[in-house]
């Protein structure tokens, strides 16, 4: 029973993160936070899987390194958009 809870909880967290990402389209910062939440739930699933199969956790550390790089790139895009357009609303700038 406890093992089923360990596998259902990350899937619920993942789908809640996707729902927040799809439903919130006004600010870029809130979308970046929801993407980081999705990455964190994927890390939780990966960590549970690697512990279940008794593998080393080197791949999970590599996954964390790439997720940190993704977060830094998102924040740098956010800072450049705020410097050029003055805010982070999606309606205020043209994507093309």
Within 8 A by CB and 6+ apart from 35, the residues are 17, 21, 70, 74
What domains sit in the chain, N to C, each tagged with a CATH number?
2-92 (1.10.287.3510)
pLDDT digits (tens, 9 = 90+) for 41-86: 999 888 888 888 888 878 888 999 999 999 999 889 888 888 887 7
> How confident is the model at residue 73, as a pLDDT?
92
Predicted pLDDT at 53: 86
The pLDDT tens digits of the residues spanning 3-47 come to 777 778 888 889 998 998 888 777 888 888 888 999 999 998 888
54: left (phi over 0), alpha (psi -120 to 50) or beta: left
pLDDT at 6: 76
Q: Distance between CA 57 and CA 23 in Å, rounded?
A: 34
With CA atoms as reference, report the closest residue to 41 among 65, 18, 74, 68.
18
């Amino acid at each position: 029973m406890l093992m089923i809870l360990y596998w259902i909880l990350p899937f619920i967290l993942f789908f809640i993160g996707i729902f927040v990402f799809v439903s919130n389209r006004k600010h870029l910062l809130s979308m970046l936070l929801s993407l980081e939440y999705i990455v964190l739930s994927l890390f939780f699933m990966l960590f549970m899987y690697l512990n279940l199969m008794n593998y080393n956790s080197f791949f999970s550390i590599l996954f964390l390194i790439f997720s940190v790089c993704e977060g830094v790139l998102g924040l740098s895009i956010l800072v450049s958009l705020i410097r050029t357009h003055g805010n982070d609303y999606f309606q205020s700038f043209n994507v093309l």
